């Protein structure tokens, strides 16, 4: 696992099927969504209109082996979007029906794979600045909440809420945390809101009961800080899934593709 290419080879050969948090630090990790042609155009527009919640890195170029701007993300060697993630979630009609180590059977002519930026990138940068998120320090999953803020509608994707991740910080650290994560334009960038009033604006009712991930304690001298979260696109697919014909594939949360680039802007 000395480099992203050999790590992807392990995944491809189904020798690694676990989470990727903390692995190959500094390299960009990507979320996945594979959609049938009919939904792909709406989804690409959704990303264009909502770049903070759905930061599209690139999509496949008529083949599971090639990405648009391929060389920017995969330097050389083999690539197969159907096998290079550690684990895949298979959806039908918006419902999760299976988890598999590859999605070769689900990929069909006309399917489009989308790679979406992941906040693991900025967690590493925060840690390097002495501002490691509590979930990283505790080795737990980040807290994630479904909000009452909706994505700007695009085609079939209507009434799809933002999912946010929450990391507690001291008020005095907020400006530095904002500055560090602001640079990560393709992986959600700076927080979209913060504070207990921010939680209220986002329609979050109980900070102790996240919809995804683990509960994280907020100390008395801390406030919650909210970033747009890569779970948003998968919840969008679940929300409108009944209007999508055919299989939809996502990565299993936490089980990302590791790219050859460290570039995040």
List of residues contacting a copy of itself (CB under 8 A): 45, 48-53, 148-150, 152-155, 158-159, 182, 185, 189-193, 201, 228
- Closer residue to a copy of itself in complex, CB, 58/74: 58
| Shortest distance (Å) from residue 7 CB to a copy of itself | 31
3-state class of 128 per DSSP? Answer: helix
- Closer residue to a copy of itself in complex, CB, 74/144: 144
CA 47, 202, 119: angle at the middle one, nearest 5?
50
What do you get for the CA distance between the two ends of the chain, in Å?
A: 25
| Shortest distance (Å) from residue 248 CB to a copy of itself | 22
- Closer residue to a copy of itself in complex, CB, 75/159: 159
| Shortest distance (Å) from residue 225 CB to a copy of itself | 11
Contacts of 109-112 with CB under 8 Å at 24 or more apart are: 110/36, 110/37, 111/34, 111/35, 111/36, 111/37, 111/40, 111/60, 111/64, 112/34, 112/35, 112/37, 112/40, 112/44, 112/59, 112/60
| Shortest distance (Å) from residue 154 CB to a copy of itself | 7
| Shortest distance (Å) from residue 149 CB to a copy of itself | 6
- Closer residue to a copy of itself in complex, CB, 33/46: 46
- Closer residue to a copy of itself in complex, CB, 45/80: 45
Distance CA 192, CA 122 (A): 15
- Closer residue to a copy of itself in complex, CB, 236/249: 236
| Shortest distance (Å) from residue 70 CB to a copy of itself | 24
* Three-state secondary structure string covering 161-221: EEEEEEEEEEHHHHHHHHHHHHCCCCCCCCCCEEHHHHHHHCCCCCCCCCCECCCCCCCCC
């Amino acid at each position: 696992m000395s480099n992203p290419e050999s790590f992807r080879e392990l995944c491809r050969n189904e020798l690694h099927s676990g989470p990727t948090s903390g692995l190959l630090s500094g390299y960009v990790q990507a979320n996945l969504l594979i959609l049938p042609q009919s939904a792909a155009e709406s989804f690409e527009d959704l990303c264009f209109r909502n770049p903070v919640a759905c930061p599209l890195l690139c999509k496949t170029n008529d083949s599971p082996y090639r990405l648009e701007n391929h060389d920017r993300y995969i330097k050389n060697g083999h690539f197969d979007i159907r096998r290079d993630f550690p684990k895949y979630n298979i959806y039908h009609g918006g419902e999760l029906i299976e988890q598999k180590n590859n999605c070769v059977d689900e990929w069909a002519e006309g399917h489009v794979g989308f790679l979406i930026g992941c906040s693991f990138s900025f967690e590493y940068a925060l840690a390097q600045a002495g501002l490691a998120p509590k979930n990283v320090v505790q080795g737990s999953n980040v807290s994630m909440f479904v909000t009452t803020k909706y994505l700007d509608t695009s085609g079939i994707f209507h009434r799809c809420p933002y999912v946010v991740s929450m990391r507690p910080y001291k008020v005095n650290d907020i400006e530095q945390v904002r500055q560090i994560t602001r640079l990560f334009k393709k992986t959600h960038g700076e927080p979209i809101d913060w504070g207990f009033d921010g939680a209220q604006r986002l329609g979050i009712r109980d900070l102790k009961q996240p919809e995804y991930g683990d509960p994280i304690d907020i100390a008395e001298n801390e406030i919650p800080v909210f970033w747009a979260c890569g779970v948003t696109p998968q919840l969008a697919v679940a929300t409108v899934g009944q209007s999508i014909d055919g299989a939809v594939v996502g990565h299993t949360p936490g089980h990302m593709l590791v790219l050859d680039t460290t570039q995040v802007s």
